[in-house]
Structure 1
């Protein structure tokens, strides 16, 4: 008997399929001009589309199943005309109605939203492919998933080895101090260059005295705005602790403007009776601080105000790993086989004072930072060994430079393809169009002294250690005890620290800052302790930064006219008013941290603008940016290697989520009426359909310490879910009415656990 039409597989290009779909939906739109959609007609459209099945074979190669995002200019141009603000389901994109299943209903909902313009439901997750639009491509993605039978999230526990392509020795290598990058200006981006100002300097005297002479003490501002309850301050987008670990790592690649310990004092006045810094009420306490050195020849007049300079290179070139001067670079090398110095147990060497020897002087500031510094030295040495093994004739210098090129490229790729989209959102930056010699990659004062200090807000107040199963491997330690304590890695290693960073949520980007940074930075008050919030504010005044509103204007944004245009938090509006009086007088860092966040981002409007501008200039003005110096295959190989891959290649850690900057965990189940459960001989899909869910049952989520984390009620179908798991480990799901519990282990930051069902009489 011959095949019927339904038996054939059709080999149709995605473009043809998309055009067919668009034609069908356009016809439906014409037929029903009032915007209504007849479900029978739409069902026919979907049914016909589902006949076109791709011959593509589905496989599941774990995290390496796809390259990272590489956005094209044409897509950006399409987006420019579409401001729908459509929503993307970060947990399970094709589950449009968020019911835990991917079915034809999800495709129908997208079609309905496209054709019924007058009745759009913005609560639906209709932007399936996360391109900022609602289109036929979203429905096609749902249909494709239904067709291949992958109605639940792909299991990413499988893994396959991914080997990086190793570029040949280039005829020109990046200088260690950044010189010679730009063909027109030999010094752009190099050590010692002045910081760029986007907004005019706002010194008190127009030349060099501190800005904001009429503003309250920086410590008073800190006390009013930044004291926090850490239990209520976790971010609302599931960003992991790697956001601040990587942020600090990259910050130390881009800029350094250390103060001079013998420079002019700009001590921060402490309010009388300050709980931590003036407990006796003397009224004479200060937080010590000195000015940043200024560039030679500046600060002579209002036409030549003081300017600060960058003490390292402005490029993302791995300078925190390799150094920004020849002496440091040589100190870190073994000059054998292209390798860098490292101990037998894989840790960075230490000097006589107990500080690690690394490319950046700040590498010992906290153990989390030291751990990731160590990781990339290991990656360099792993690459060096691979290059040496594949090319026995290569010299030490050739091996070192080839490995350095790949390491710098990895750091760049992770920053632009993982870190920045996680922080700023997918579409915050313009696509890369190649090297532009007219772009100055120099660091902006507004970026280094204010905007990129957002990391101080997101740090947790503890440092943890986790094993591969997602459980604590030893007790947490307070962050204040982890400063300049690199020697502890001899006991803990780096593996458990890196696993922890991928397995817990970071704090929110806001004005709240944990006590370890606000009261105990580098020691207790009176014995080295400092307030990082107050220092951020005072450093901005030291550098003569313009106020928040003037900086908005400098970056092409409209000035705000009231505090409620900065933040919707009424209490914060009142505090800002009491401290500053006018929206034209706010310290820049304070205004940035107070901003309402942009959609699909963890930062506000001006913060995102400053950060995106800096990283675009850093990228576009770098002649040695990886996409400008590698061939297409090498670029693809590099971009497929995520931070998770780098960690797993160089530690004993296994099973990390694909994107370690995001920790998105979900638990789902149903409360089912036991009498409605049909015989076990019935097909499984029918059994589930016929099970009667029980509405209004209370389900509780309890962590391993027995603390109630969250509670919810089952919906009309008996469904419940939890997405409030802020760290991995052991949990219990409990049905409140009966006390029945189900144990569950969250092992990694991409767990999707379903089928945790309760049966009730």
Structure 2
């Protein structure tokens, strides 16, 4: 690629004085971005094909790291600056500057060592799959214990649209329209294809018992923003989709029984109401015997390859392109275009499900076209196809980097996934049924019941709409645009990941009950039974986790324990989706141990089994630019948003201050003055603020409601750190036993997720 590649990526936020420091895994190094002239100067001398091969002997070895260390020591001994000038001034090649930052440093040696570790990892046997003796879908056959040959992607090779050809030994791995992987043995009623769960309560009864939402809401305890579900859904639509049969003759109903007298779905107490569900399509040739049970189909590519943007077939991909300048079709106001029937032209058929999701589609259309325009301007000789593929490659790399460096650490914690050690062709990346049909549906519990529209100041630019109003209403974006929706996503807390689901999803999904309305909780449970998912404990065992002996081991919530026991009776008979969300959260994660394990396993396999994974195809400055690009960067360079926190997956504003008293100080000063007068040191007019401990402070929202309280500590300090959204807030003292000197109420604006106001001070007279 061109030496000015970093211009295509855009401005990094790493130098922003207002940005909160981004959390990264220890193995990643993120030096500051380089200017194009520095890249050009460095690349004159540098081995771009394999920069870690410092001595150019054709291999990367410990000798290369030692060469760098010796060079650093030599320059230091000679009293030279190691900023890159000394070595280049002597006219020698700059091979020791591995990372192309214009200087020789320990980072260069570390890059060689990391390359050695990755290369070594390719020849280590893969980790064994819990409960089965091998990785899910391990590519090794006939007892061969050696990993397959790990061939990296050629520089001129591009990803196929349909996912084929990524693995050179098994070209169908990860491709569209292939079977989902099953980790635990199936739980079909007949062991072949009949739905499971026949001895369990109705899915709607379980939903009514466990998932009615708290009217006050249950905000994320780990301060996850609404982007945890906005990105989660956008990402989910990149990697899995189970469809119903197209031919009605092949469609099989598996309706959900509604309890008699259900207040919303059976208000007339008929006892005959059901919620409709059609069973998922199964892979051709499966479901013929116990030895060959039914396996559902993933209709899109498994890879994180931007298929929700570009499609999973050539026909779809071509229908989305301008075929000029490498650009994608987009409306004049930067929205997802529509076809002659008014349907959205997007890479995934679900793009219109809600306006937040549609906004994400529009965002990455803009990002692709922005990149394409930059590439075309810098390389006028490139063809439309070449520009399109280069822009697509960068967009995919951004999607992967955001997922692995921001989203997954936010959701699961920093250390949930093993470190990347290079491409492994023996790894099967296929989507696990347990992942797509249960674990990755955690996001349904995190959605708020309203969707707001915020400006750069964090205030409403128009009235919020209910989530129900946002379903299949993409035309709303013609009025609102996407900027205010994306700002709102970064400026609000998500709901906690638990069994509670807001009414718009649990009772009014896509319409009112009896008028197309569905219950997403019921659908999740019933779909798991349709797919023959094993029970919660059996899945734990299949993933190498210890099984639970009691409901109390699953959750510390005594009320929830009792409800689970009433519904299921046996701890070994819990529907997987229910068990995953009932489980107490793992340390550092917003999910339980089982869901964390399933999701981490899936994303490790999607990464390690992907020959085109960005860390396997990009290096040097290009890799650093990718990893320095946050979701906030992508949003700000494609919208008018300019006040986002650096990591939009967290919403963590704080307001703090002190309460002091002059009156108490004056009394203390009088006693001191007596001593001073005895010693001949006059200080009658000197006073010092005295901290007021135990003072109760109140935080009020813009409507005057008290939303939080805090008590001052021994230093007179208080702090508020529980905010559901940006906006105008007020702080006041709750006590009436003291007189406030000055303003009794301080009004503040919380404009973004990393605003930290630390001088909201009060003085009182006792």
TM-score of the superposed pair, with normalisation by structure 2: 0.77
Match of 1:730 in 2: 728
Match of 2:747 in 1: 743
Q: 1:696 to 1:688 in 2, by over 3 A?
A: farther
Match of 2:520 in 1: 532
Partners of 1:227 and 1:410 lie apart in 2 by 37
**Contact 1:418 1:659 (8 Å CA) reproduced:** yes
Q: Report matched runs for 1:17-28 at 5 Å.
A: none
Q: How far 1:719 moved relative to its partner?
A: 1.1
Query: Is 1:598 aligned to residue 594 of structure 2?
Result: no
Partners of 2:429 and 2:268 lie apart in 1 by 49
Partners of 2:217 and 2:761 lie apart in 1 by 30
Q: How far 1:550 moved relative to its partner?
A: 0.3
Match of 1:695 in 2: 693
Partners of 2:205 and 2:756 lie apart in 1 by 45
1:69 pairs, out of 11, 24, 30, with 24
**Contact 1:169 1:401 (8 Å CA) reproduced:** no
Match of 1:753 in 2: 757
Match of 1:641 in 2: 629
CA deviations over 1:298-326 (Å, ceiling 9, x no partner) = 11111111111110000000000000000
Q: 1:396 to 1:583 in 2, by over 3 A?
A: same
Match of 2:657 in 1: 669
SS in 2 for 1:362: coil
Partners of 1:62 and 1:319 lie apart in 2 by 35
**Contact 2:22 2:646 (8 Å CA) reproduced:** no
Q: How far 1:65 moved relative to its partner?
A: 9.0
Q: How far 1:646 moved relative to its partner?
A: 0.2
Match of 2:169 in 1: 184
Q: 1:711 to 1:335 in 2, by over 3 A?
A: same
Q: How far 1:62 moved relative to its partner?
A: 3.4
TM-score of the superposed pair, with normalisation by structure 1: 0.77
Partners of 2:501 and 2:467 lie apart in 1 by 12
**Contact 2:654 2:756 (8 Å CA) reproduced:** yes
Q: 1:654 to 1:526 in 2, by over 3 A?
A: same
**Contact 1:71 1:431 (8 Å CA) reproduced:** no
SS in 2 for 1:62: coil
Partners of 1:533 and 1:688 lie apart in 2 by 67
Q: 1:688 to 1:310 in 2, by over 3 A?
A: farther
Partners of 1:591 and 1:511 lie apart in 2 by 9
Query: Is 1:198 aligned to residue 175 of structure 2?
Result: no
In structure 2, stretches of 5+ residues that fail to align are: 1-13, 30-152, 670-684
SS in 2 for 1:650: coil
**Contact 2:730 2:745 (8 Å CA) reproduced:** yes
1:246 pairs, out of 211, 231, 235, with 231
**Contact 1:67 1:639 (8 Å CA) reproduced:** no
Match of 1:134 in 2: none
**Contact 2:232 2:443 (8 Å CA) reproduced:** yes
**Contact 2:397 2:626 (8 Å CA) reproduced:** yes
Q: 1:717 to 1:207 in 2, by over 3 A?
A: same
Match of 1:340 in 2: 328
Q: Report matched runs for 1:112-191 at 5 Å.
A: 170-191=155-176
**Contact 1:354 1:487 (8 Å CA) reproduced:** no
CA deviations over 1:552-593 (Å, ceiling 9, x no partner) = 000000000000111000000000000000110000000001
Partners of 1:709 and 1:731 lie apart in 2 by 10
SS in 2 for 1:346: coil
Partners of 1:555 and 1:447 lie apart in 2 by 12
Match of 1:224 in 2: 209
Q: Which has the higher contact order (CA 8 A, sep 6+)?
A: 2
Partners of 2:268 and 2:662 lie apart in 1 by 66
Q: Report matched runs for 1:106-117 at 5 Å.
A: none
Q: Report matched runs for 1:578-593 at 5 Å.
A: 578-593=566-581
Q: How far 1:387 moved relative to its partner?
A: 0.2
Q: Report matched runs for 1:298-697 at 5 Å.
A: 298-675=286-663, 690-697=688-695
CA deviations over 1:435-485 (Å, ceiling 9, x no partner) = 000000000000000000000000000111000000111111000011000
Q: 1:587 to 1:688 in 2, by over 3 A?
A: farther
Q: 1:567 to 1:66 in 2, by over 3 A?
A: closer
Partners of 1:751 and 1:491 lie apart in 2 by 29
SS in 1 for 2:573: coil
Partners of 1:330 and 1:186 lie apart in 2 by 22
Q: How far 1:228 moved relative to its partner?
A: 1.2
Match of 2:222 in 1: 237
SS in 2 for 1:584: helix
**Contact 2:20 2:754 (8 Å CA) reproduced:** no
Q: 1:408 to 1:350 in 2, by over 3 A?
A: same
1:273 pairs, out of 248, 253, 261, with 261
CA deviations over 1:107-152 (Å, ceiling 9, x no partner) = xxxxxxxxxxxxxxxxxxxxxxxxxxxxxxxxxxxxxxxxxxxxxx
Number of residue equivalences: 603
SS in 1 for 2:697: strand
CA deviations over 1:412-435 (Å, ceiling 9, x no partner) = 000000000000000000000110
SS in 1 for 2:461: strand
Q: 1:688 to 1:336 in 2, by over 3 A?
A: farther
Q: How far 1:676 moved relative to its partner?
A: 6.0
**Contact 2:164 2:172 (8 Å CA) reproduced:** yes
Structure 1 or 2, whichever has the larger Rg, is 2
Partners of 2:656 and 2:21 lie apart in 1 by 27
SS in 2 for 1:500: helix
Query: Is 1:710 aligned to residue 695 of structure 2?
Result: no
Q: 1:64 to 1:211 in 2, by over 3 A?
A: same
Q: 1:342 to 1:624 in 2, by over 3 A?
A: same
Partners of 2:417 and 2:580 lie apart in 1 by 19
Partners of 1:382 and 1:545 lie apart in 2 by 43
**Contact 2:20 2:647 (8 Å CA) reproduced:** no
Partners of 2:15 and 2:401 lie apart in 1 by 24
Q: How far 1:230 moved relative to its partner?
A: 4.2
Q: How far 1:548 moved relative to its partner?
A: 0.1
Q: 1:226 to 1:633 in 2, by over 3 A?
A: same
Q: How far 1:170 moved relative to its partner?
A: 3.7
Compare 191-200 and 668-677 and name the one that shifted more.
668-677
CA deviations over 1:518-569 (Å, ceiling 9, x no partner) = 0111111111110000000000000000000000000000000000111000
Q: 1:689 to 1:617 in 2, by over 3 A?
A: farther
Match of 2:285 in 1: 297
Partners of 1:593 and 1:623 lie apart in 2 by 33
In structure 1, stretches of 5+ residues that fail to align are: 1-58, 75-167, 680-686
SS in 1 for 2:656: strand
SS in 2 for 1:475: strand
Q: Report matched runs for 1:282-293 at 5 Å.
A: 282-293=270-281
**Contact 1:733 1:742 (8 Å CA) reproduced:** yes
Partners of 1:668 and 1:677 lie apart in 2 by 22
**Contact 2:456 2:641 (8 Å CA) reproduced:** yes
